[in-house]
A and B are shown apart, each in its own frame.
Chain A
Amino acid sequence: MSRPVPLTPEAHGKLRVRPGINTARLEGQQLLPVVVHEFHLAGSDTPILFVKNSETGQFETVALLGLSQQENLMIDGGRWQGNYVPGVIRSDPFRLISTSADDENVVLGIDPESPLLGEEGEALFDDKGEITDFLKGRRDALVSYIEHGNITRAFTARLVELDLLAHRELTLDLDGKKSTVSGMYLVDEEKLNKLDDETLLELQKRGFLRAIYAHFMSLNRIHGLARLKIAGDRGEG
C-alpha cells in the first residue's frame, strides 16, 4: 500500500469507492495484523499468533497467511480464501493519519493508488462537499478499529507482563518435507494454568481469556495452510 494522503473534498470530491477486497496489496504478505475482537472469527480461517515488529520490537497480534516469508496462501486467483475478512482489509482504502507525534490528532486519509478507487461505487462527498453517510460509516468503523487496536496492545502488554508468551518454532510436515515457521510467539498454556484465581478472573473480565482461547483454537488452522501449500505446489509442479 502506498502512503495514505489526507482526504479532502477539493482533492477527492469526485472520487468513488467500489466494494471488494484489494487483494493486490496482500500478495506476498505473510502476516496480517488482527485485533483481539476478531480473534475468534479470523482464527477459524488461519492461525493467530504473536510476532515482534521488526522496527519497534513490540509484540503484535497477527494472522499467519503463509508458511514462509513473502508467501500468502490465503489469496488465490485474486480472491480471498477465508470465510472472514479481517478488519484491516475491510478498512481499505481508508486510513487514519496522525498529524502529531503523539497520535493524539488524526485525520481521515486514503490510499491514493488503491484499485478500489474510481468512478464506480459509493461517493465520498456530496455536491456541497459534505461527507456522505457511506464515508461517515467507514470513518466510524475505522475509529472503532483503532480503539480495538489500543485494547489489543493492552492485551499483549498484559501477557508480556505476566510472562505468558513463549517463543516457538512451528514445525510442519509438507508432503514429507519438514518446514519450520520461526519468529512466532504463543501463549504458554502451562503458565496460563498456573496463574492465580484473581489474575484469571481479571483476564476473563477484560475479555482477554476468550481471546487467549481463540488463539489456542486457531493454531490447528496451520494444517489448513499446509494443505493449501501442498495443493499449490502440486498444481504448479
Chain B
Amino acid sequence: MSTAGQNDGAIREVLVVGGGTAGWLTACHLARKLRPTEPGGVRVRLVESPDIPTIGVGEGTVPAVRQSLQYLGISETEFIRECDATFKQSIKFCGWMQDASHYYHHVFDYPQRDPLDLTPYWLMGQAGERSYAETVGIQAAMCDAGLAPKQITQPEFAGVTNYAYHLDAGKFSALLTRHATQKLGVELIKANVEQVHLTPAGDIDRLSTDRCGDLHADFYVDCSGFSSLLLGQALEVPFIDRSDVLLADHALAVQVPYPEENSPIPCETLATALPGGWVWDIGLVSRRGTGYVYSSNHISHEQAEQQLLDYLRASLGERAEQYSARRIPMKVGYRDSFWARNCAAIGLSQGFVEPLEATGLLMFDATARMLAEQFPAHRDLMPLLSERFNHRVRFAWERVIDFIKLHYCISDRDDSEFWRDNRRTETIPETLRENLAIWRHQPPSDYDFSSRLEIFNLENYLYVLYGMNFPTQMDAIGYRYGQPADALKSAQRIAQSAAQAGEHLLSHRELIQRIHQYGLQPI
C-alpha cells in the first residue's frame, strides 16, 4: 500500500534539481550506487529548466576526474571525442611574481621522493640549478616541450605521467546526460521549478513546476547553481561570504580561436597574473576558453575588459577585438551547511571559489561521490549522516580556500593595491598563517596534512611554495640532510629522462588527432 510505503522511513526516490555539470555528475554518482533499474533500487530523477542556461564555464579539471569517468563507466575515447577534450598536465603560472618573466608549473606528477626526497637539497642549492618542478620530476619539461602525457598504445586512463583534461562544459553535460539517462536509468524532467513547499516540520515536501505538475521525492539534491533554490532560498541556509580572503569577485569569460588552426595545444592551463587578478587560458581542440578573474573593488569593469583585450592581443593581434566577453559575478564562499533536512546541495549552490586550481568540478565530484556512498538507508539516519557530511565538506572548502590564498599571499608583486591587499594579514586565514610560519624554518611535511579529506596535499603546496621562491631557511637544519652527492645524481637522472621523453611521446595535438582517428584501447 502506497501510504504505508511513504511512512516507513525508507528512501525510495531522489530528485536532483538542476542540469548543469554538477547536477548530471551527481545524478550519475547516485544512480551508479543506488541502482534505479534494479528491483528495490532508488528512483533517481533530474529536473532541469528548459529556459535557465547553465553557467557555461568550467573547463579545467584535476586528475581525480579520470577515476570518476572510469568508475561511472564512460570510455576515455568517447569522452575525448565528444567533449572537444584535451589533456592537462599542469597549471602554468605566469607573472605571479614581481619579475615579469617568472613562471612556474604546478604539475600533477608528485615530486619524486624515492630513493631520496630532493626538496631540502634543492632548497640548499645542492640539487642543481633547475627550477623546483624541473628538479623533482620530468613533467614540467614535458609541458614546456608540448608533449602528450601518454602513448597511443597505452590503455584508456593510463599515462606516462599523471593527467587531467580540459573540456567543453556544455558538451560534457550533454555526454553525462546521455550516460545518466541511457545507461544508468536516470529519468529526465524538463520543467521550471516555480515553488518549493515545505512540510510543517520544515522538510522539503514537493516542488511545483510550470509544466509537469508537482514533483515529490524522499530526498532532494540542490544543483540549481548560484541561485541555490532549495538549500539557500527554501531552507534558508545562510551563505558564508569569503570575499574577505579571496578578493576577486567577477569574471569576464570569452571563447577565442587559436592563432592558427594547427597551433600547438598547450598541455597545461595558463594562469597569467594581471594587476587586478589573473587570466585563465585553456586550450581545447578547436578553440581556447579564456577569462579574466578580477576584483571589482580594485579595478573597474572597463579596465578589466581592456586588460583582457590586451592579454588576447598578444596571441591574436587585432583579431582579439572581435570577441566580446561575458561578465559573470562570482559569489565567493560556501553555505553554512551543505545538507540540511532532506536536501543536500552540490555544485555552485553549495559554494564557489575562483577557478584558479580547477576546484569546481573536483569539489562537486568528490561531494557527489561522498553523498552516494553515504546515502541514508533510512530517514532516521539523516541527522547523523548530514552532520558528518557537513563537517567534511566544510573542512574541504576551508582547505581549498587556504590553498588558493597561498598563491596570492606569498607573491611579491607590488604593482597594484590588489596584490598588496592580498598580503594583508587580516585577509589570510589563520590555518594558513600558522603553516607559513612553520614553513619559513622547515619544509612542509606529510604531518602538516593529517586529514584524509584534504583536497590539496603536501605535493601541491611544494610546487606552489617553491615555484614562487618561498624562503624556507635551511641553515639551522642543514645537518639533517647528509646526502648531497646522491641528491645531485638523482636530479641529473631526472633531467636526463626529461630530455629523452620526446623520443617516445607525440606532441599533444598529434596524440589528440590520433585518438580522434583510431581511439584508445580499453586495455
A236 to B65, CA, bound (A): 55
B518 within 8 A of A: yes
Most buried by B among A58, A160, A166, A167: A58
In the assembled complex, the CB of B434 is this many whole angstroms from the nearest CB of chain A, namely 48
Whether A56 contacts B514 by the Cβ 8 Å rule is yes
B153 within 8 A of A: yes
Contact of A160 with B521 at beta-carbon distance under 8 Å, contacts A56-B514, A57-B514 already known: yes
In the assembled complex, the CB of A196 is this many whole angstroms from the nearest CB of chain B, namely 20
Most buried by A among B514, B520, B523: B523
Size class of the B contact interface (CB-based, 8 Å)? 10 to 19
Whether B523 contacts A57 by the Cβ 8 Å rule is no
A59 to B151, CA, bound (A): 14
Whether A185 contacts B523 by the Cβ 8 Å rule is yes
B56 within 8 A of A: no
Complex contacts, B519 vs chain A, CB 8 Å: 57-58
A166 to B155, CA, bound (A): 11
Complex contacts, A54 vs chain B, CB 8 Å: 152-153
Q: Which of A24-75 contact B (CB under 8 A)?
A: 52-59
In the assembled complex, the CB of A91 is this many whole angstroms from the nearest CB of chain B, namely 24
Query: What are 5 A-B contacts with C-beta separation under 8 Å?
Result: A52-B521, A54-B153, A160-B521, A163-B523, A167-B523
B471 within 8 A of A: no
A163 to B155, CA, bound (A): 13
Closest-by-CB residue of B relative to A56 is: B518
B383 within 8 A of A: no
Chain B residues in the interface with A (C-beta under 8 A): 151-154, 514, 517-523
Interface residue SS majority, chain B: loop
Chain A residues in the interface with B (C-beta under 8 A): 52-59, 160, 163, 165-167, 185
Whether A160 contacts B522 by the Cβ 8 Å rule is yes
A202 to B300, CA, bound (A): 68
Complex contacts, A160 vs chain B, CB 8 Å: 521-523
Whether A57 contacts B521 by the Cβ 8 Å rule is yes
In the assembled complex, the CB of B137 is this many whole angstroms from the nearest CB of chain A, namely 25
Complex contacts, B153 vs chain A, CB 8 Å: 52-54, 57
A52 to B154, CA, bound (A): 9
Closest-by-CB residue of A relative to B153 is: A52
Other than A53-B153, A57-B151, A57-B520, give 14 A-B pairs with Cβ distance below 8 A. A52-B153, A54-B152, A54-B153, A55-B152, A55-B514, A56-B518, A57-B152, A57-B154, A57-B519, A160-B522, A163-B522, A163-B523, A166-B523, A167-B523
Closest-by-CB residue of B relative to A164 is: B523
Most buried by B among A52, A59, A165, A167: A52
A57 to B506, CA, bound (A): 13
Closest-by-CB residue of B relative to A161 is: B522
In the assembled complex, the CB of A79 is this many whole angstroms from the nearest CB of chain B, namely 33
Complex contacts, B151 vs chain A, CB 8 Å: 57
